[in-house]
Structures are given as C-alpha cells and as structure tokens.
Amino acid sequence: MSKISEIEAYILGREITSAQWASLMVLVKVTTSDGKVGWGETVSALRAEAVINFVKKINKVLKGSDVFNVEKNRLEWYKHDFNLTISLESTTALSAVDIASWDIIGKELGAPLYKLLGGKTRDKILVYANGWYQNCVTPEDFAEKAKEVIKKGYKALKFDPFGSNFTYITKRGLDLAEKRVRAVREAVGDDVDILIEHHGRFNVDSAIAIAKRLEKYNPLFMEEPVHPEDIEGLKKYRLNTGLKIALGERIINKNQALYFMKEGLVDYLQIDLYRIGGVTESKKVVSIAEAFDVLMAFHNAQGPILNAVTLHMDAYIPNFLIQESFYDWFPQWKKDLIYDGTPIENGYAIIPEKPGIGIDVNEKMIDELKVKGEEYFNPEEPVWVVKGTWKD
C-alpha cells in the first residue's frame, strides 16, 4: 500500500515583481512511503501563502493515508475542515493534493489518467487561445494580435474587450468594446470562433446592453456576464438575450454547479480542477452536466500541471465543447518545467500518454524557481486582467 508520507507546497516564479500575467504558480508535491511522487498545482493570485498554509494542514491530516483512497481522503479532510465547501483556500489546497494523488495512482498502475477515468472519446483536444492580447488597447492592436493567433492554427480565441469598465459600462466603453470585437471578427473571419470574457464584473443592465451590441458578431459564448453572486441578474440576462452563457470558474463544489444547471442559467460549464476539488469532484460535476445536456469547457488559466490534468479530463468526457489554453502564452519557465510536454498543434492540444497526468517535472528547476510572497500587485490593474488591457 502506498501511504502518503509527505505533502509539500512551493511558490514558484522567476521574479516576484514581474508584471507579466501569471508570474507565479503554486506547485504541490505528494510523496509516498515507497518513494512515488505525484504533482499538483493550485491558485496563486493574492492567495498563494494562504493556500500553502492549508496544504500544510492537509499534510497533518492525510499523512499515513493510502494515496489510492481519494474519496476517503477527501472525506477525512472534510471532517476536519468545517469550512471546506465554502472556503476557496481550503478547496484549492485539497484540489492540488487530489490531482497529485491521481498522478501517483496512474504511475503505480502504469496508465495515463484518462484510461483510469474511462478512456478516450477523442484523440486530440480542440482549444481556444487566451492570454494572446497582452497590451492590446486599440481595436487595431486587437486585430493584429488576433491575426497572429490564427496564423498559429487556432480555430477559436477569447478576449476581454471592456477595458477598465467595472459594474457599469459607459457609452464610450460600450462603443470601444464593440470596435474591438468588430476588429477581431473582421481580422479572423467568420470561420473562427470568438468568445467574450466579461470577468463577472457587470451589473445586469450593462451586461444586457453589451449583449445587444455584440450579438451581431456571433460569439460562441459570453463568459460570466454578470457579477457571480447576482443570480437574479443572471436570470434577467437569460430572459433578455439568446446568447450562450458560460460560467463556473468560481464554483467550488458540485452542489453550486447543480444549482446553475437546475435553474437553466448555464449553457457551457467552466469549472476549474483546482477550485472544484481536483479530479475526484470534477468527474462528478461532468456527470451532472451530462444529465442536463450542458457541455463542458473547463476553465484553465494557471500553469503546466493543471493544464496537463485538464487535458486528461477533456479526453474522456462525453460532453466536451472546447478547452481554454494559455499554453503558448505561458512564461517560458512554465513550459521548461515540464519539458514542453503539452504542445499545441494547429489549434489542438495533444493528450499526454505517459502514466499519471502524463508529464515529467524538471525537479532541478524547483529550487531555482522558489520564491516567497504573493503575485505582483499593481493598484492600477487587478491581477485577473491580461496585462496592459485595463485601459480605455
């Protein structure tokens, strides 16, 4: 029996003062009594140190547990942490441990994760590009960079055209957003999907005004069009636009996901493995979504470990739509950390075939990359913004 002997967590990055998007990552390492190692990853932005502390607490609870018993281990942590289902920090820490556990299980059994989950329903993963529009401000900026994305072979791309507008969008902000979207649509043509990111920051009337302006550009979906807690606003939005709604990255348990589906408020579900409870909980949500005819488009905006494990989920699920990918816009060290193990080819990600989550970690880089502190903070631009776009 492979018992958990140690769970460790590190904050990695090249430079803590860097303004580059996603300059840090939280890496979690699970080691077993017989020397097996599994890798997980979780949230960094504004919460890195808090999550590290939760990983330390989980280590105390799960040390000595059978790494194969992912359900039992989750319940053990649930028993000790009174606030698991309402705490992002607790859930994200557990998610990383769960992912690392599945990595070990796959290595122990000599099989890639997707085979343990149910095998393949597809041989490659259609992805959409994100992170490509750093420092884009003018419509022309967006158009030029969009052309570069399509030259790489991508069939879809997502972007946030709303600048610094927050809660309420001004007429000027609405006009500029439309110009940016029109510029991208004209640059990529009608055969490429465009996806509109709202970052959950608008009141419902602003979101509806945006929808009416942008529907002519045929977006595949509108992501988080209203503030995530504004359920009544989302219902009103649903009644006033025929555009597809994507959401879910801020959902931290399956019961929350179920509510949105029961209420008919989501077309494409974007849960994130690092927030929902890792592989163990995400596969349950996928099954619920299948029952409601909701397609999956996993959120995936962190680093290379989460990217790899998400591709395994995409490979096996029956209700797949498309996968978010920042991979080609990662800081180079994130690719180097996994020996560039999950490349994008002509708009598709290649499914890792090695045992576990299917990537090798360059452990020599970990000591070099260890940093202390939180992600770079800019009072003029929130950490969730693709850098240089918080302008009008």
| Model confidence pLDDT, tens digit, residues 280-307 | 999 999 999 999 999 999 999 999 999 9
d(CA 147, CA 259): 39
Q: Compute the mean pLDDT over every residue in the chain, rounded to the nearest whole number.
A: 95
Tens-place pLDDT, residues 22-61: 678 999 999 999 999 999 999 877 889 999 999 999 999 9
- Looking at residue 15, what is its pLDDT? 60
Tokens standing for 320?
A: 């797949």
d(CA 81, CA 79): 6
d(CA 31, CA 8): 8
Q: Domain locations in the chain?
A: 4-111, 115-361
Sign of the dihedral defined by the CA atoms of residues 316, 4, 41, 359, in that order: negative
Q: How far apart are the first and last CA of the chain?
A: 58
Tens-place pLDDT, residues 360-377: 999 999 999 998 766 667
- Looking at residue 380, what is its pLDDT? 87
Q: Is 199 assigned a catalytic role?
A: yes
**Could you give the C-alpha distances from 161 to 178, 214, 279, 313, 391, in angstroms and in order?**
8, 11, 32, 30, 10
Say if residues 68 and 7 touch (Cβ distance below 8 Å): no
Say if residues 387 and 134 touch (Cβ distance below 8 Å): yes
CATH of domain 115-361: 3.20.20.120
Q: One of 198, 227, 299, 312 is an active-site residue; which one?
A: 299
Q: Using the structure block, give the residue that is written with the tokens 């680093």.
A: 303
- Looking at residue 375, what is its pLDDT? 67
Per-residue confidence band for 18, with pLDDT thresholds at 50, 70 and 90: very low
Tens-place pLDDT, residues 68-125: 999 999 999 999 999 999 999 999 999 999 999 999 999 999 999 999 999 999 999 9
Per-residue confidence band for 19, with pLDDT thresholds at 50, 70 and 90: very low
**pTM for the full predicted model:** 0.96
Q: Is 198 assigned a catalytic role?
A: no
CATH among 3.30.70.20, 3.30.365.10, 3.90.1150.10, 3.30.390.10 for 4-111: 3.30.390.10
